[in-house]
Chains A and B, each alone.
Chain A
Amino acid sequence: NAGVTQTPKFRVLKTGQSMTLLCAQDMNHEYMYWYRQDPGMGLRLIHYSVGEGTTAKGEVPDGYNVSRLKKQNFLLGLESAAPSQTSVYFCASSWTGRDTDTQYFGPGTRLTVL
């Protein structure tokens, strides 16, 4: 049972390049989340999904797009990377959004934009 996995683990981009981060979970969870973590900060929500085919904006959505074509996968896209998007990105999933459900986190992706 792999839990939540993220691909890639590390990536370096040049300003203006695009890329997609992949999050996969094998727990049949309905809810999935993308957070970013910056130095000296806690995690902040970028986008989230409450089920296959649905997505919604979080606290810091600008510059990112997401898709949830399959229940087990949640993709985070950067169309034109900027240095301000240098961060560690975490994906999380939970069975539902209900309060007793734990969010399980992936190992993170460290992204550097030069």
Chain B
Amino acid sequence: AQTVTQSQPEMSVQEAETVTLSCTYDTSESDYYLFWYKQPPSRQMILVIRQEAYKQQNATENRFSVNFQKAAKSFSLKISDSQLGDAAMYFCAYRRPFNYGGSQGNLIFGKGTKLSVKP
């Protein structure tokens, strides 16, 4: 079974600085998809960024980028120029390929990292 591990329960960053959140996962599959979701105090789950395992290029979305190391099974999230609105829980998630081993596309989540942003 696939597992996702986020080893940092809490992180803190100064406004305008850069912070990196760690995520590792365990899988025997070669094709899969990785996601970072943000959950602010409102509890809404918001997709931040997505990475396809078959792509070597790291995904980027404005101030958010990932460092995807497939061999090491590592998928870290870098937030540049941190803003107060970035304060939230961040979840790393894994998704099996559609219809692979009966998969219907559900997400497997890590336990989350709580990010605080100091003004």
Which residues of A come within 8 Å of B, CB atoms? 31, 33, 35, 40-45, 48, 50, 56, 58, 88, 90, 92, 94, 96-103, 105, 107-108
Chain B residue at smallest Cβ distance from A3? B44
- B16-60: CB near A (< 8 Å → 1, else 0) gives 000000000000000001000000001111110010100000000
Q: In the complex, which of the residues A42, A48, A100, A102 contacts B106, with contact meaning CB atoms closer than 8 Å?
A: A48
Q: Which residues of A contact B98 (CB under 8 A)?
A: 96-99
Query: A41-B111, A94-B105, A97-B103 known; A107 and B42 CB under 8 Å?
Result: yes
Q: Does B13 contact A (CB under 8 A)?
A: no
* A42, A50, A101, A103: most-surrounded residue (chain B CB, <10 A): A42
B99 adjacent to chain A (CB < 8 Å): yes
**A46 to chain B: closest CB distance in Å?**
10
**Residues of B contacting A31 with CB < 8 Å?**
104-105
The interface centre, meaning the residue of A50, A58, A97 with most chain B CB atoms within 10 A of its CB, is A97
* Chain A positions within 8 Å of B47 at CB level: 102-103
Which of B97, B103, B106, B111 meets A40, CB within 8 Å?
B111
Pull 22 A–B residue pairs with CB atoms less than 8 Å apart, ordered by A: A31-B104, A31-B105, A33-B106, A35-B107, A40-B111, A41-B109, A42-B91, A42-B110, A43-B107, A45-B106, A45-B107, A50-B104, A88-B43, A94-B105, A96-B105, A97-B103, A99-B95, A99-B97, A102-B50, A103-B107, A105-B44, A107-B44
